[in-house]
Amino acid sequence: MSVRAVAVKIFKHGSVLVRQQHRGVPYARNISQCVRTIEQISPHVQKSTPITNTNNRNVLRNICLQISQQARRILIDNALNRFSFKFGTELIQKAKERGLYGNPVPLLGLVGITLASGGQSILSKDEELEGVWWEIRECVTKIQQTRDLISESDLANNSVKNIDALSIGKPIAKGANAVVYSVKRLAPNVRRSADENSIKDYPLALKMMFNYDVQSNSIAILKAMCREIVPAGSVLNSDAQRNYEYDFLKMNRYLPPHPNIVQIFSVFSDFVPELEDCRDLYPAALPKRIDPSGEGRNMSLFLLMKRYHQNLQDYLKSSNISTRTSIFLFAQLLEGVVHMVSHNIAHRDLKSDNVLLDLSSKSSPLLVVTDFGCCLADSNASLTIPFNSYDVDKGGNTALMAPEIIKKRPGTFTRLDYSRSDLWAAGAIGYELFGVVNPFYGNKNVTRLSSMSYKEEELPDLPENVPFLFQRLIKNLLSRDPNERLNPEVAANICQLYLWAPNSWLVQGQGVPTHAEILDWLLNLAVKLLCEFRSKDFEEDISNSGYISYPEYLLISSFLCRAKLFNIKSALEWIQFNNF
């Protein structure tokens, strides 16, 4: 441990001890006023006088002050010795004396002057580079926020409040708890399009939740289905939600907008309408005013969101994608997981049909995570929650439930840790992305594994065309012990580095780059991002032009907005150790 670290610890703990001993008792900051000299001691005082509690405190106080003063002196000398000053030593001596007796302003002024003049820094070189990158990261974040990443239309500024403002087309998808229709903003004197399923004519999607139990009251509906609106944090700040009746919304966490999280433009409750094919698709969810045999309530929750082309499950069945596209999609999936974990939210129902794709760019599909109805987003809890009875909800989709969750049994001190459960599910989806049957689903030719009892050596191998690095990465994410899995951010960094980093960094034996080299690469990546950006409306085929596509821009910007030099270096160390 360095002298500086020892001095800081002594000063810190000495000050705390002094404050605890003399809480509320004023004392001089100058040690010369606190320690009495021999001449000040009265000659008639006997040295054999018993020490009282007060005297004991005074002795301890003086000792601690002397230790603290000595620690301050060591710290200041150590700090000043790190700089080369080009002016008189008298000014330095005065700064040291004032700093020694509690006035740090002159000392800080000298440090600032020295830093500005190119002197040696009190921080380590790596810490300085991390600080430089922090400034650049903040700049990239602000630029990204101004690139219209949140709003795909004017709906973000003119939110829809009811169904009457929408023209509803054909049904897109139906699940156990909701149905999704294609919609567009209702414009006056505009007829319905002949192709009501065209994403160009109907660029939005309306998700209607099935309501069987909750009374037809807006507040009651929103309270019962509040998990569904977790990705809608950007639209929950209107004046209506500031009413005291909506205080329950503060009980949940909400996700800020992110390129790999579904975009929700509006949330509202309204009467369930009679829509196309409703009697065939979901007759039981209809209210009795529409279908006498229906069991649904009159009102329900509606979510207006961006419309996507396909879910991941259907896309993989109908397309033969390249290995690079698989890696590109896997990187986006991990970025979505990182965003959720960083905001203490667990999806708990991550599967391929809860992942949507925007196929506007043929070579680079945009991936988003959707359907947060089973998520853990309690503002009063972290990703670790008590599990004292079977009444506690573990989440959905037991097939892709992480081992540390599904095998838990309730108990007085038992807790469920979701901090890396979504990461495990992402690893299982990785098999599907690389063209292999998900081992936890199985089929007629593949034996289904149970997440509760499988052994890691039972996991099937990926095809030979899959880079060995990703074979090791997916096996790591599917480790039974969550502590053996990579940190979600490091796992996402591995994918990003494989896509954008120099090839020499990925070769074993080449040595891990320094922080300065990593920073230089990040700067070049940021410049390329800002200079070669093409908007989402740019339709020219740029697959062979060298320019980045809009989904690539979003992926790189997500990486740059959260990247830390330390985590990137950890990812590079893991790559070089595992990429044989």
Are the C-beta atoms of residues 206 and 184 closer than 8 Å to each other?
Answer: no
- Tell whether the model's pLDDT for residue 78 goes beyond 70: no
Handedness of CA 232, 237, 238, 240 (dihedral sign): positive
Top-level class of domain 154-307: alpha beta
Catalytic hit among 314, 349, 391, 422 = 349
pLDDT tier for residue 198 given thresholds of 50, 70 and 90: confident
**Token couple for 525:** 């990546």
Higher pLDDT, 374 or 42: 374
Position 88 scores a pLDDT of 47
Mean pLDDT of 409-428: 95
Radius of gyration of the chain (CA): 31
Question: Catalytic: 349?
Answer: yes
pLDDT tier for residue 529 given thresholds of 50, 70 and 90: confident
Are the C-beta atoms of residues 232 and 254 closer than 8 Å to each other?
Answer: yes
Q: pLDDT per residue over 258-279, tens digit each?
A: 999 999 998 999 999 999 999 9
- Do domains 154-307 and 311-486 share one topology? The answer is no
Note the pTM of the prediction, 2 decimals: 0.77
Position 70 scores a pLDDT of 60
Higher pLDDT, 283 or 88: 283
Position 44 scores a pLDDT of 47
Mean pLDDT of 49-72: 54
Which residues lie across from 417 on neighbouring strands? 384
Residue 560 has φ and ψ, to the nearest 5°, of: -65, -30
**Superfamily of segment(s) 311-486:** Transferase(Phosphotransferase) domain 1 (1.10.510.10)
Q: pLDDT per residue over 375-402, tens digit each?
A: 999 888 789 999 999 999 998 889 999 9
Mean pLDDT of 135-144: 71
% of the chain with per-residue pLDDT over 90: 48
How far lies 391's CA from each of 168, 251, 411, in Å?
39, 20, 12
Of the candidate ranges 66-80, 181-195, 306-320, the one whose mean pLDDT is the lowest: 66-80
Position 535 scores a pLDDT of 54
Are the C-beta atoms of residues 472 and 580 closer than 8 Å to each other?
Answer: no
Q: How far apart are CA 254 and CA 354, in angstroms?
A: 18
- Tell whether the model's pLDDT for residue 68 goes beyond 60: no
Q: How far apart are CA 506 and CA 328, in angstroms?
A: 17
Looking at every residue in the chain, the average pLDDT score rounds to 80
Position 48 scores a pLDDT of 41
Are the C-beta atoms of residues 296 and 284 closer than 8 Å to each other?
Answer: yes
- Tell whether the model's pLDDT for residue 226 goes beyond 80: yes
Higher pLDDT, 547 or 484: 484
Domain boundaries, the chain: 3-122, 123-150+501-580, 154-307, 311-486
- Tell whether the model's pLDDT for residue 455 goes beyond 50: yes
What is the distance, to the nearest Å, from the Cα of residue 77 to the centroid of all Cα atoms in its chain? Answer: 42
Which residues lie across from 378 on neighbouring strands? 252
Candidates 507, 495, 555, 565; CA nearest to 528 is 555
Position 578 scores a pLDDT of 87
Position 149 scores a pLDDT of 47
Tell me the three state secondary structure of residue 356.
strand
- CA torsion angle 481 496 562 527 (round to 10): 170
Mean pLDDT of 176-204: 78
Q: How far apart are CA 473 and CA 481, in angstroms?
A: 15
Which range in 28-42, 143-157, 337-351 is most confidently predicted, on average pLDDT? 337-351
Position 195 scores a pLDDT of 59
Buried b / exposed e along 372-395 (16+ C-beta atoms within 10 A): bbbbbbeeeeebebebeeeeeebb
